[in-house]
Amino acid sequence: MNAPAPATTAPAPALVEGRGDVSAAVVDALRTGRPPVHDPAALLRADPWGEDLQLALHLLYELHYRGFAGVDDDREWDPDLLRLRRALETRFLHALRVDLRHAPRSVEEAFAPLLVEPVDLSGSVSRHLETDGELWQLREYAALRSLYHLKEADPHLWVVPRLTGRAKAGMVAVEYDEFGAGRAERIHARLFAGLMADLDLDTSYGAHLDRAPAVLLATVNLMSLFGLHRALRGALVGHFACVEITSSPGSRRLAAAMRRCGAGPAAEHFYAEHVEADAVHEQVVRREVVGGLLADEPELEPDVAFGCAATVLLEDRLGAHLLTAWREGRSALRATDGVTPAGS
Amino acid sequence: MPNEPAASRRVSLERGGPVVVEGPVEVVLEDGTVARSDRFAVALCTCRRSRTYPWCDTSHRRRERAPADHTPEEAGRP
């Protein structure tokens, strides 16, 4: 952590190419300033877990974060784009509810498996990286995770005005920590940029979007979906609690992976910091945020459980994708014409 | 700022888990060295299994054979 951390507030990212009819229509609308033009049937045909729908949703959500170079900031509230986003969200949310129809509806049941340390870690990405990971796999992992970590904790901040009392105070305390507790150089997104620099990756926001497959985009879209809808505030809290509960042991393994591969001090520090920080955050989120929310609004319990289960589902799918590719010696990044894997 | 000039420092207990103390905190260890954290809250290890002692690293968790279809993975953590 001696080198100055790179800034994360570079110019707005460049748009990427579409991956199907719907995402191409979004890209075209953003490039031209015109409303999106797409075949309504394409929307219904699109696989809710596929590249086209997940990229379209991601692009529309990004208008609420950093936007894109050459795209008017006002497009964030363009009714035509919002209408399309709503249609995509409906398909995404429906697909989640179908896949989670047998998931627990109580918070206790949803969190119980997360509060024990599994003996069998054969499906764990962090365990793989800790014991067998190679530097190129760490670089791919960081490039993919950068889609979230370079805006770390941003999607969760939207829930704050929808909370009161203990839940609000607890949420803001944790977010304050995420945003560096008043010190810009400690903002977690900036610590992650330091990790990326250690791994010789492009640290600019959105640089790795084109290489991120739908299975990764879905994990980030989930946070934006929950964060942007007050109706899903319970799910956002459940998601956040799930992340904080599972983070500490995973971060310890990832710090070990960075150390073993000689990734560099900033790379190791990012995860080492999260071992201790998230052990605290877990306590605050479970006791104050989840406990406070359910004291205020007990009817939201199934939503909290849903948010947790959705997070586990999408992280498990991402983990399976990464491990399958890496164990076959393949890149887990999305192939794009003539482009070598991120930063290599 | 607290309304009262000398607000009490709150310490939260949980069976089988860490003690959560409002920060900043200095912990004087048995050998006399001082561990310091300026976090808004700190989780102090009580099980003595932490690899980052005196801070909790969730090592208190029971180790359990998970159902074959379910390995909780770190979840894009903030």
Closest by Cα among B69, B65, B77 to A311: B77
Question: What SS3 class is residue B48?
Answer: coil
Rounded to two decimals, the ipTM of the complex is 0.80
Nearest residue of chain B to residue A142 (CA atoms): B76
Chain B nearest CA to A243, separation (Å):
5
Tokens found for residue A199: 């791994």
Distances (CA, A) of A323 to A34, A316, A326: 41, 10, 5
Residue B5 is predicted with a pLDDT of: 65
Asked if the model's pLDDT at residue A119 lies above 90, the reply is: no
Question: What are the start-end ranges of the E strands in chain A?
Answer: 117-118
User: Do B24 and B40 touch, CB atoms closer than 8 A?
Assistant: no
Asked if the model's pLDDT at residue B62 lies above 60, the reply is: yes
Nearest residue of chain B to residue A124 (CA atoms): B73
Q: Where exactly are the structural domains of chain A?
A: 21-99, 107-327
Contacts of B74 in chain A (CB under 8 A): 125-126, 246-247, 249-251, 253-254, 315
Number of H helices and E strands in chain B, helices first, is 0, 6
Q: Do B57 and A118 count as a contact with CB atoms less than 8 A apart?
A: no
User: Do A94 and A48 touch, CB atoms closer than 8 A?
Assistant: yes
Question: What are the start-end ranges of the E strands in B1-78?
Answer: 11-12, 19-22, 25-28, 34-37, 41-44, 63-64
Size of interface A-B (CB pairs under 8 A): 149
User: Do B9 and B21 touch, CB atoms closer than 8 A?
Assistant: yes
Query: A12: Cβ–Cβ under 8 A, 6 or more apart, which residues?
Result: A66, A67, A68, A69, A71, A205, A206
Contacts of B2 in chain A (CB under 8 A): none
Q: Do A243 and B78 count as a contact with CB atoms less than 8 A apart?
A: yes
Q: What is the distance between the alpha carbons of residues B38 and B25, in angstroms, rounded to a whole number?
A: 6
Q: Do A153 and B78 count as a contact with CB atoms less than 8 A apart?
A: yes
User: pLDDT tens digit string along A141-154?
Assistant: 999 999 999 999 99
Contacts of B22 in chain A (CB under 8 A): none
Q: What is the distance between the alpha carbons of residues A326 and B20, in angstroms, rounded to a whole number?
A: 39
User: pLDDT tens digit string along A132-187?
Assistant: 999 999 999 999 999 999 999 999 999 999 999 999 999 999 999 999 999 999 99
Q: ∠ CA A151-A156-A162 to the nearest 5 degrees?
A: 150
User: Do A304 and A290 touch, CB atoms closer than 8 A?
Assistant: yes
Contacts of B75 in chain A (CB under 8 A): 242-243, 246-247, 311-312, 315
Closest by Cα among A142, A180, A313 to A238: A313
Q: What is the distance between the alpha carbons of residues A75 and A38, in angstroms, rounded to a whole number?
A: 18
- Comparing CB atoms, the residue among B20, B56, B77 nearest residue A274 is B77
How many residues are given for chain B?
78
User: pLDDT tens digit string along B5-25?
Assistant: 677 899 999 889 999 999 999
Asked if the model's pLDDT at residue A28 lies above 60, the reply is: yes
Ramachandran angles phi, psi of B23, nearest 5°? -90, 175
Contacts of B12 in chain A (CB under 8 A): 283, 287
Chain A nearest CA to B77, separation (Å):
5
Q: ∠ CA A177-A231-A114 to the nearest 5 degrees?
A: 50
Q: What is the distance between the alpha carbons of residues A195 and B67, in angstroms, rounded to a whole number?
A: 34
- Comparing CB atoms, the residue among B12, B51, B66 nearest residue A113 is B66
Q: What is the distance between the alpha carbons of residues A78 and A75, in angstroms, rounded to a whole number?
A: 5
For residue B44, list its beta bridge partners. Answer: B19, B55
- Comparing CB atoms, the residue among B55, B66, B77 nearest residue A118 is B66
User: Do A333 and A211 touch, CB atoms closer than 8 A?
Assistant: yes
Residue A344 is predicted with a pLDDT of: 39
Q: Which CATH number fits domain A107-327: 1.20.910.10, 3.40.50.2300, 3.30.420.10, 3.40.50.2000?
A: 1.20.910.10
Residue A336 is predicted with a pLDDT of: 80
- Comparing CB atoms, the residue among A181, A246, A250 nearest residue B40 is A181
User: Do A105 and A302 touch, CB atoms closer than 8 A?
Assistant: yes
Q: Can you say how many angstroms the Cα of residue A293 is from the centroid of all Cα atoms in its chain? A: 23
Q: What is the distance between the alpha carbons of residues A224 and A247, in angstroms, rounded to a whole number?
A: 19
Residue A236 is predicted with a pLDDT of: 98
B30 touches chain A (CB under 8 A): no
Q: Do B64 and A116 count as a contact with CB atoms less than 8 A apart?
A: yes
* Region of poorest pLDDT, from A1-10, A97-106, A209-218: A1-10
Contacts of A126 in chain B (CB under 8 A): 73-74
- Comparing CB atoms, the residue among A275, A280, A319 nearest residue B20 is A280
Closest by Cα among A294, A166, A159 to A226: A159
Q: What is the distance between the alpha carbons of residues A193 and A142, in angstroms, rounded to a whole number?
A: 10
Q: Can you say how many angstroms the Cα of residue A300 is from the centroid of all Cα atoms in its chain? A: 23
User: Do B41 and A173 touch, CB atoms closer than 8 A?
Assistant: yes
pLDDT band at A342 (very low <50, low <70, confident <90, very high): very low
Q: Do A283 and B14 count as a contact with CB atoms less than 8 A apart?
A: yes
pLDDT band at B60 (very low <50, low <70, confident <90, very high): very high
Residue A118 is predicted with a pLDDT of: 87
Q: What is the distance between the alpha carbons of residues A18 and A22, in angstroms, rounded to a whole number?
A: 8
User: pLDDT tens digit string along A37-93?
Assistant: 988 898 999 999 999 999 999 999 999 999 999 999 999 999 999 999 999 999 999
Closest by Cα among A77, A70, A89, A73 to A27: A70
Highest mean pLDDT among A202-216, A273-287, B5-19: A202-216
Closest by Cα among A205, A232, A209, A248 to A66: A205
* Region of poorest pLDDT, from A2-6, A287-291, B42-46: A2-6
Fill in the amino acid letter for A245. I
**Interface with B, mutate which of A245, A248, A288, A318 (most B CBs under 10 A):** A248
Asked if the model's pLDDT at residue B1 lies above 60, the reply is: no
